[in-house]
């Protein structure tokens, strides 16, 4: 299977098949290391992406919890996520969105759900708070059955939210305690 074919069919995969395809992708391409710790791996052409600096910023923030981040090639005509992320033995296919306004958050997820089922939301809005986002995230999980995880990062803060947490009746309290 070629690297393009892997990405073309990746969202149809689950469990060990998904993990194996993601590992296969990381082994098919010639990645170059971006950082001195060799934890950020750039795919061919990554430096030419218009949002390269935002992607690097997101990759560095996700590495607070992750072991490795690989950039994914943007293939013409194929919706794809930005990263493959490794946490120990777990591999995730993640789309990054830089959020400059809380008002744009839901639209960003709605528009990008065809690219990935996990999102890294790199919050750039200084007015962001758990008060503004808890109902938005709950609605996103309700509207998109395929959505499995949202990772929020802002400055040094990092939190991973899965479906069961977002749909819990105590989500707001949990988010306030975890993020605050």
Q: How many CB atoms are closer than 10 A to CB 64? A: 10
Secondary structure of residue 162 in the 3-state scheme:
strand
pLDDT digits (tens, 9 = 90+) for 62-83: 999 999 999 999 998 999 999 9
What is the distance in angstroms between the CA of the first residue and the CA of the last residue of the chain? 45
pLDDT score of 131 more than 80: no
Query: What is the rounded distance in angstroms from the CA atom of residue 28 to the CA atom of residue 36?
Result: 22
pLDDT digits (tens, 9 = 90+) for 16-57: 999 999 999 999 999 999 978 799 999 999 999 888 999 999
The answer to whether 21 and 13 are in contact (CB under 8 A) is yes
Query: What is the rounded distance in angstroms from the CA atom of residue 142 to the CA atom of residue 110?
Result: 12
Which of 136, 119, 139 lies closest to 128 in space, CA to CA? 136
Dihedral sign, CA of 140, 7, 28, 50?
negative
Q: Is 77 left (phi over 0), alpha (psi -120 to 50) or beta?
A: left
Query: What is the rounded distance in angstroms from the CA atom of residue 77 to the CA atom of residue 19?
Result: 24
User: How big is the chain, counted in residues?
Assistant: 180
């Amino acid at each position: 299977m070629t690297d393009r074919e892997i990405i073309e069919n990746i969202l149809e995969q689950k469990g060990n098949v998904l993990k194996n395809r993601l590992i296969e992708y990381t082994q098919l391409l010639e990645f170059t290391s971006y950082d001195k710790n060799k934890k950020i791996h750039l795919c061919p052409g990554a430096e030419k992406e218009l949002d390269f600096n935002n992607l690097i910023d997101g990759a560095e923030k996700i590495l607070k919890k992750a072991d490795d981040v690989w950039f994914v090639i943007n293939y013409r005509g194929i919706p794809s996520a930005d990263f493959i992320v490794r946490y120990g033995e777990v591999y995730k296919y993640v789309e990054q969105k830089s959020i400059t306004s809380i008002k744009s958050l839901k639209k960003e997820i709605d528009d990008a759900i065809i690219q990935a089922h996990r999102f890294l939301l790199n919050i750039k809005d200084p007015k962001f708070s758990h008060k503004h986002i808890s109902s938005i995230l709950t609605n996103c999980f309700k509207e998109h059955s395929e959505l499995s995880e949202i990772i929020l990062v802002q400055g040094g803060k990092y939190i991973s939210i899965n479906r069961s947490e977002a749909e819990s009746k105590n989500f707001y309290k949990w988010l306030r305690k975890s993020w605050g």
